[in-house]
Amino acid sequence: MSLSIRLSTSSDAGALSRLAALDDAPPPSGRALIADRDGVAVAAVTLTSGRVLADATPRTAAAVHLLRLRRYRLLRQGGRVARLSSLSSGSSPAPVAV
């Protein structure tokens, strides 16, 4: 079981909508970091507000923790969400040990 964290793209709209529906919430309007487990989006965190989209189960707790940590580090590095577009420069997401 591998977990990777990556920046959302326009093709992730369906996955973000599915995750938002778990909380009966609207899908996010901006960019998000997504945690993929074996190719399936299991959690996401919006970059601007930090809103978490995930099933509230122990299985997703580690993914949510890593997403929050990664968001914090990215925002701390650059200070602006707009500069994070460099994350989607075509490189594949790095796997995260869980």
Cβ atoms of 60 and 98 closer than 8 Å: no
Tens digits of residue pLDDT in 25-45? 899 988 999 999 988 999 999
User: What are the sequence ranges of the domains in the chain?
Assistant: 3-81
Question: What confidence tier does 67 reach under pLDDT thresholds 50, 70, 90?
Answer: very high
pTM for the complete prediction? Answer: 0.77
> Are 48 and 30 within 8 A, CB to CB?
yes
Residues with Cβ < 8 Å from 23, sequence gap 6 or more? 53
- Closest alpha carbon to 22 in 52, 61, 58: 52
- Integer-rounded Cα radius of gyration of the chain: 12
